[in-house]
Amino acid sequence: MAFPPHYFGQDEVLAALKSYWDKGMENAAVLERLHARTGVEGRYFSRRLEEYQALDTWGKTNDVWIETAVRLGEEAIGGLLAETGLPPEKIGTIFSVSVTGIGCPSVEARLINRMKLPVHIKRTPIFGLGCVAGASGLARAADYVKAYPDQAAILLSVELCSLTWQRDNLSVPNLISSGLFGDGCAAVLVVGERLAAEMADRRTSGDAAKLGPRVVDSLATFYPDSEEVMGWAISEKGFRIILSADVPAVVRQHLGANVDGFLARHGLTRAGIGSWIMHTGGPKVLEANAEALGLTREDFHLSWEALRRAGNLSSASVLMVLNDVMREHRPKPGTHSLLVAMGPGFCSEMLLLEWS
C-alpha cells in the first residue's frame, strides 16, 4: 500500500468543506450529520486541505491526479519488488485500475519509463469499474498467469477520490462522498505456478509469511438494468457522483445467491469460509453485505477497521483489507477466504482464495 503524505481527521475535513462550499452551506447541519454516519475517523489526501480551493478546473485537478498517481504507483510497485525480490524481467503484464482520473500515456506507461521496467511488459489500463476494480483486476491478473505460468502479473490500483469533489454540487450523494472516500494506492503481485516454484527454491522460512493465498477461482456477475445505481456523470467540470440509495437493496437482492452458487462449484458453503475480505463500501453497504450473507459485523471487522482508518478507497479498498489479512490476520493453511467487491454496472466480482 502507498498513501499521500497528508492525513486529516474527519473534523478537520468537515471544517475545510464548510469553507470550500462557500455558497449554499445553510445545510451545514446536513453535512455534519452525513459525515458522522460514515464510520470514518480520518483519511489520506493528495493535497493539503486548503490547496483544494485552487483546483477549480478539471484540467488542474487531473494534472494533480497524474502527478500523485505516478508517485504513489512508483512507491507501491517499488516496495512490492523489493519485498518479494522478484526480478523485474519476470513481469509479463501490468493491469492498472482507477476511476478517479485519467492519463494518456496511462500511469503504468509512465512508471515503465520512470522505474526502468522491461519494455516488453504488456499493459492493460482499465477505467470505469469503480469500487469493483480491485477484485476484477486481481481476477484478470490471476487469469493471465494461468496462461503464462512462468511470468508474474502486477495489479496497480490508484484512487484519489478527493480530486473528484464538485464544488457546486450540494446534492446528498456528493455530500456523502465527501465524507466517505479517501486517497490511496495498492499494488499486488500475482505469479504463475512455474515462477512460484522457482521462487520457492530460494525462499527462506521468513519469506513464507509474506506469501499470499492461491487464487482458486473467480466469478464476475453483471446485474441487468441497474446502471443508474452507481457511477459518474462526466462533464466539463469532471466527475459528478451517482450514488443511489438503492445500492444496499441491490446487494441484499443478489449477493447471497451469487456467493452460494459460486461456492457450490467447489463443494463449499458459507460455513466453509474462514475469513471474509469485503470491500469497505460504507456502513450501509457493509451492513447489507452481512444481512445478505447471514453474517455479523464481527465477520467483517477488518473491513470496518479499514473504513475507519482510511475511508472508502474505491478499487484499492478491498486490496487494503487483503493486505491487512496477509500481514496481521493470516488464516491457517488450508483456510478458504472469499474476496468480494461491487461497483458500477451494477456488478460484483468475487475470488475464492486458499491459504498455504
What would the 3-class secondary structure string for 202-218 be? Answer: CCCHHHHCCCCCEEEEE
Cβ neighbours of residue 176 closer than 8 Å, sequence gap 6 or more: 34, 38, 243, 282
The active-site residue out of 131, 161, 185, 347 is 131
Closest-CA residue to 268 (of 332, 322, 319, 216): 216
- In the block, which residue shows the cell 493471465? 144
Q: Is 334 helix (H, G, I), strand (E, B) or coil?
A: coil
What CA–CA distance (Å, rounded) separates 278 from 211? 20
Is 185 assigned a catalytic role? no
- In the block, which residue shows the cell 483486476? 137
Q: Is 189 helix (H, G, I), strand (E, B) or coil?
A: strand
DSSP 259-300: HHHHHHTTT--GGGEEEEEE----HHHHHHHHHHHT--GGGG
Over the Cα atoms of the chain, what is R_g? 20
Torsion angle, CA of 93/98/103/106, rounded to 10 degrees?
0
Active site residues: 131
